[in-house]
Amino acid sequence: MAKSKYTCIGGQALIEGILMKSPEKSALAVRKPDKEISITYLDQKSVREKYKILRLPLIRGAVSFVESLIGGYKAMMLSAEISGYTDIEDEDKKTEPKEEKKTSALINALMVLAGVLGFAIAIVLFLLIPRLVVAGIEFIAGKSLSSVSHAAIEQGIKLVVLVLYVYLVSLMKDIKRVFMYHGAEHKTIFCYESGLPLTVENVRKQRRFHPRCGTSFMILMILVSFVVSTVVQLLFKGVYENAAVWVAVKILMIPIICGIGFELLRFCGKYDNWLTKIIAAPGLWLQRITTKEPQDDMIEIAIAALKACEPAVPDVERPKEDSDAGEE
């Protein structure tokens, strides 16, 4: 009888591929233009290995979040290159090396600019607009709202913006395929955690909603932000009244919020009880948008990626009945 097991294996859907990471190694599986599967091992040395203080609870979450963003971006670019998605060579292949360098430099500059603009837009959407809405409500009501009301309204607006943005993005053809690979990633991890052989048939039967998903992390950050923002306003009276100070405080709170969200996500992935089900519920709901049912060839990619990074010994074994794999 197959034994179910808890594992720290996680993944990321890419362009025509999937990145899988275990405590031992990281592997990138991508479907090449000739339909063969390319396996690339990535360096996953973390700064946490060098500095023990960065392994402490809360701190490790913020560090892991930053490293995941950087590593995920690199993996996405690599998958685009391997899959042929970014192949824009001239038909006559007569582009001069200097012109190629200029084009590459221009693309890099544009990507940096896009990152800066993206950060600025995030500040406007998730910090300034919620505050302006709260100010508008207070003006109409003719009185100041409580700290809990401030936090609840702001986080509610953030949640609406996030869900709307994710839904609109999911309508794009290329993003929909990435979301299908996301489903393949989850199903394959569930199959592995159930102790079943990694076959397309076994993987296809699994659920596509996983409590340890990055989508759940985004929701958790908003919910944790509600609690942290309320506590800060209660401890430091008047901090909310100064818009510039409050925006600065919110930015400084991001590492704390990331740290708490990271620990909650680990907790939900390791245990299956009523508390973890409540914590994971909002993220699992949002995954109905960010994960789609995969095609068999996508499942093959996920299986190849997981096998390439599979740890020699699973972290923990647990009774089969505790597994949350299976058809939903």
Mean pLDDT across 223-242: 84
Sequence letter at residue 138: E
Taking the C-alpha atoms of residue 137 and residue 135, their distance in angstroms, rounded to an integer, is 5
Taking the C-alpha atoms of residue 197 and residue 221, their distance in angstroms, rounded to an integer, is 35
- Does position 299 have pLDDT exceeding 90, yes or no? yes
More confident: 325 or 147: 147
Mean pLDDT across 282-297: 89
Taking the C-alpha atoms of residue 196 and residue 5, their distance in angstroms, rounded to an integer, is 10
Mean pLDDT across 206-212: 84
The alpha-helical segments, DSSP class H, found in 236-325 are 243-270, 274-290, 296-309
- 294, two tokens: 């995969």
pLDDT at 142: 81
Q: In whole numbers, what is the pLDDT of the chain averaged over residues?
A: 79
The alpha-helical segments, DSSP class H, found in the chain are 47-50, 59-83, 97-123, 129-141, 147-170, 173-193, 200-204, 214-235, 243-270, 274-290, 296-309
Q: Which of 4-13, 95-104, 160-169, 201-210 has the highest mean pLDDT?
A: 201-210
What are the tens digits of pLDDT across the range 98-156? 555 554 555 555 555 555 556 666 666 666 778 788 888 888 888 877 878 878 888 88
What are the tens digits of pLDDT across the range 11-42? 899 999 999 988 778 899 999 999 999 999 98
pLDDT at 86: 66
pLDDT at 139: 83
| Whole-number percent of the chain with pLDDT over 70 | 80
- State how far Cα 112 lies from the chain centre: 21
Residues 6+ apart with CB under 8 A from 25: 41, 44, 308, 309
pLDDT at 201: 94
What are the tens digits of pLDDT across the range 155-187? 888 888 888 888 888 888 888 999 999 999 999
Domain residue limits, the chain: 4-87+107-310
| Whole-number percent of the chain with pLDDT over 90 | 19
pLDDT at 323: 37
- Does position 233 have pLDDT exceeding 70, yes or no? yes
- Does position 264 have pLDDT exceeding 50, yes or no? yes
Residues 6+ apart with CB under 8 A from 202: 191, 196
Q: Which of 7-11, 74-78, 83-87 shows the lowest mean pLDDT across its residues? A: 83-87
**Would you list the DSSP string of 178-197?**
HHHHHHHHHHHHHHHHTT--
More confident: 31 or 272: 31
